[in-house]
Structure 1
Amino acid sequence: MRVLFATSPHKSIFQYMAPLAWALRTAGHEVRFASQPAFCPTITQAGLTAVPVGRDHAKLWAARATKNGFDAGRAGIEEPYDAFTDPGKDTWEYLAPGMARAVADRHRQTAFPMIAGLVEFARHWKPDLVIWDPLTFAGPIAATAVGAAHARLLFGIDVHGGVRRQFLRLKAERPAAEQVDPLADWLGGYARKYGAEFTESMTTGHFTIDQFPRSLQIEAPELDYVRTQFIPYGGPATVPKWLWKRPEKPRVALTMGLSATDIYDGYTVRTQEVLDSLADLDIELVATLADAEKAKLRRVPDNARLVPYVPIHHLAPTCAAFIHHAGAATLATVARHPVPHLSLHYHYDQPILARRLTAHGAGLDLHTSRASGQAVRDAVQRLLNEPRFTTRAAALRDETLALPTPNQLVPHLEELTARHRTTPA
């Protein structure tokens, strides 16, 4: 079959999708990856075939961290999707205008530059299945235009699917005259333009591919989830020679992710304070710091090794504990190993993932506004000295590895495609 991936022009999102594209390709299926023209080199660098569609536009996330490290106003999921975790916002009065603004200010702006080009290519290539990330609504529009099956591939907690179900529940409770639906109206307009009609699948896919174990995910009611293992891919990487050797002391890793400096203005923890707090522990600390963050340091502890980047899937198996920002890819990579986590979370779905990880017992978490040096030190010592955290981390590892690999998922995707495709094979 022919499989078309549609992705936002963001490396961190694309990297969640690449392993499944490889699995489909090696199973003998034809695979194409569509995104904005400037993003195509990132796609081809992964050995995949890129299709440039539309025109380039600004990045999705314009929010910037403040100079002192964090901004409480940006510490959560943006409106209206914060209703997924805030019961006080699960109201029609909040969601109806919030969804209207989201469609006007975000979804339209990010999808519009891709829609016409993606539909044009889909009509030319005739994919059987379109796989899209939850921010790329051009994907379901193109799939609907050609009768293809289509699916969302999640890159974290399903806030979009969850809030959509909340919205539909509240809409059904309103009088008919008040049942506005900005997302359905917008997507339906494109469906009719291309000779089809709106269906609810345009908002959340015929099915949803989830790369996280059930214990870390929050499922939206009535949606069809298909689970697979998260397989780490971080782009080009080399394994440094120091990582070939077994560490002489317990190794503790520290990373705050690439998006903090690639997209935002810097880390949301005080790196110097954290390094100082761990300086006298009998550990080997490996900290992946962007050059811009490293330049801010006044001193480097003797027990610390600072590197700009190291592949997490090579580093994690050598660690006794792992400090991270609860970014979904980092967390899921570490979860493939029996290594306890300390999650220093800040925004979007990081707090949700971090707290579910703590509830599972595989680690501890601190919001970055509370991540003082002493708090981090105390948490690290607990992770190293209380065996229950390693035991629970091993249980999470087992749950993760029990999921089907992307290669094992392919036959099920073939079945789902045949079920939902409306054009002949």
Structure 2
Amino acid sequence: MSPVLTVAADLVGRGHEVVVYTGSRFEERALAIGARFQALPPEADLDDRKLDTLFPVRATLPPGPAQLSFDFENFFLGHLPAQVRGLRALLATFPADVVLGELGFWSIPVLSLSTAPEERPTLVTLGSVPLLIQSEDTPAFGAGIVPTPGEEARARNRAMNAEVRQVFAELQRFGEATFESLGVTVPGYLFDAPFRRTDHYLQLTVPSFEYPRSDLPEHLQFVGTLPPASTGDYVEPPWWPELSAGRPVVVVTQGTVANNDLNELVIPTVRALADLDVLVVAATVREDGPDLVRRALAEVPDNVRLAGFVPFDRLLPHADALVTNGGYGGVQTALYYGVPLVVAGASEDKPEVAARVEWSGTGVNLRTSMPGATELRAAVQTVLRDPSYRSQAGILAKEIGQYNPFEAIAEIVDAPARRPGPRTGPIELAPRPAGAV
């Protein structure tokens, strides 16, 4: 939701009328940026923080195809009929000129397939994970394999892509049945639909952080990294001046999703760097994160500072390295500031993010979600001592600086409306906050 809300805030600031349509837990954040809010229908309105509690079997599934199939059958596709129904009801009273969503918002390909372009809003999809569209130029998504050139490699890629389609054959059939229940047909491979069935696919990175492909759709473009949201109200902790005291600063985080078990990366990193001449900032994101780390250690090392949420726009300009499990947004933010990386992740899209870090020369890929202390220590020392990683991260930072994703999105939104005309009726949504434009 962070990329969507960041874009929504910019559009509100430009004077556009914006409705945020998502889970009810984000209502307060949507209203705070001056947008209106409409919750998903109750049967699709789940709290993503409680999925493993609501669906205990999910926690038993290993990362990879099994967990991904479960998520699609129960959430992305399982709730699609309700999501589409709610969106159509919203558009009936609020005939928007543009519907903008991230990759997981599967109502966009349904609208694209079910309605002629002149009879619907312009559809814009934000790419907030690495490109997973199949291509003969790249290995199958999920394997975390860096591509190589040549016909032999392309033949291997085609074989891998076919194998992946077979692995997800049952999910393909589930998706086809779901789409057919909505009156449309899945055109080809299910996972390619969000890329091919939208008017504009905007990848939130720069070309140098994505594998080159010769067969991308024409409507797919790179628009650069969203700048980190400003957090002017953050109260700096007492140790903040130490960030500028001269020691290399190493930040470690497991992001906002895969942080249930800090023993995967945060705690091992704290242990691995305990006797190095560096300042370690453990940004656990969780409110109880610092206490969890303290309980796991006999003693917190002298060079470690524990924190819950720390805004990256304030912290990363001081960092010399970021140790992360490979969340796409966090990695993009590190590159925005030219910070080299050590990446260790195995769930969701993280192996693919780590592979792109390796391929771009901006950091070290540990190829595991639970690295040992020896591996972590060596990787951090490598990134700090070898100037090529900082140099490559700096090159990407300069490239990121040449893009303006807000302007790219505004250009689409400001284009002449396809369906001009006044609103046909009142929209019953949460009221806009006082003083909002």
Q: Structures share a fold, TM > 0.5? A: yes
* Helix, strand or coil at the partner of 2:77: helix
Residue identity in the other structure for 2:250 = V
Q: C-alpha separation between the residues in 2 aligned to 1:359 and 1:209?
A: 22
> Residue 94 of structure 1 aligns with which residue?
none
- Going from structure 1 to structure 2, the CA distance change for 1:344 and 1:50 (only over 3 Å counts) comes to same
Q: Is the 8 A contact 1:130 1:140 kept in 2?
A: no
Unpaired runs of 5+ residues, structure 1, are: 1-13, 65-69, 82-97, 171-179
Q: CA RMSD in A?
A: 3.7
Instruction: Give the alignment of 1:222-371 within 5 angstroms.
Output: 222-223=216-217, 224-228=219-223, 229-233=225-229, 238-240=234-236, 242-243=239-240, 246-261=244-259, 265-267=260-262, 269=264, 271-289=266-284, 290=286, 291-292=288-289, 293-294=292-293, 295-369=295-369, 371=371
Separation in 1 of the partners of 2:298 and 2:79? 41
Q: Deviations over 1:255-301 (max 9, x none)?
A: 1112224xxx3236254432122111111111113325323332210
Contact 2:108 2:194 in 1 (8 A): no
The CA deviation string for residues 131-171 of structure 1, in whole angstroms up to 9 with x for no partner, is: 1222222344457566112122122113367789x89x97x
Residue 80 (structure 1) shift: 9.9
What amino acid is the match of 1:152? T
- Residue 191 of structure 2 is aligned to residue 206 of structure 1: no
Q: State the distance in 1 between where 2:343 and 2:352 align.
A: 11
Aligned to 1:154: 127
Aligned-residue offset at 1:342:
0.8
Residue aligning to 1:28 = 15
Structure 1 residues 355 and 127: alpha-carbon distance in aligned structure 2, compared to 1, 3 A threshold: same
1:158-215 per-residue CA deviation (whole Å, 9 max, x = no partner) reads 3367789x89x97xxxxxxxxx9654553354257xxxx9888974322211111223
Q: 8 Å contact 1:362–1:392 — kept in the other structure?
A: yes
Contact kept? 2:204, 2:405, Cα under 8 Å: no
- Which of the numbers 80, 83, 90 marks the counterpart of 1:121? 90
Distance change >3 Å, CA 321–CA 41, structure 1 → 2 = same
Which stretch shifts more, 34-43 or 55-64?
A: 55-64
Query: Is 1:190 matched up with 2:185?
Result: no
Question: Match for residue 88 of structure 1?
Answer: none
The answer (yes or no) to whether the contact 1:20–1:407 under 8 Å persists in 2 is no
| 1:88-143, Cα deviation, whole Å (9 max, x unpaired) | xxxxxxxxxx7xx8865443323233322221111111111111222222344457
- Say if 2:96 and 2:121, in contact at 8 Å, map to a contact too: yes
Distance 1:33 1:140, change over 3 A: farther
Q: Which moved more, 1:385-394 or 1:283-292?
A: 283-292
Deviation sequence 1:27-55 (CA, Å, 0-9, x none): 33221111133432232234432112311
Question: Contact 1:239 / 1:310 at 8 angstroms: preserved in 2?
Answer: no
Letter of the structure 2 residue corresponding to residue 210 of structure 1? Q
Question: Partner of 1:89 in structure 2?
Answer: none
Q: How many residues are aligned here?
A: 369
2:27 to 16, 24, 40: 40
Q: Is the 8 A contact 1:187 1:198 kept in 2?
A: yes
Distance 1:32 1:235, change over 3 A: farther
TM-score for the superposition, normalised by structure 1: 0.74
Q: In the alignment, is residue 51 of structure 1 matched against residue 38 of structure 2?
A: yes
Alpha carbons 2:325, 2:369 under 8 Å: kept: no
Matched residue type, 1:340: P
* Aligned-pair identity (%): 19
Deviates more, 1:352-361 or 1:16-25: 16-25
- Number of the residue aligned with 2:153: none
Per mean C-alpha deviation after superposition, the further-off stretch among 127-136 and 23-32 is: 23-32
Q: How many angstroms apart in 1 are the aligned matches of 2:50 and 2:311?
A: 25
Supply the distance in 2 between the matched residues of 1:302 and 1:104 (Cα, whole angstroms). Answer: 47
What secondary structure is seen at the aligned counterpart in 1 of 2:18?
Answer: strand
Q: 1:102 to 1:348 in 2, by over 3 A?
A: closer
Structure 2: gaps (5+ residues): 54-58, 142-157, 163-171, 422-437
User: Given the superposition, is the C-alpha separation of residues 198 and 400 from structure 1 closer, same or farther in structure 2, using an over 3 Å criterion?
Assistant: same
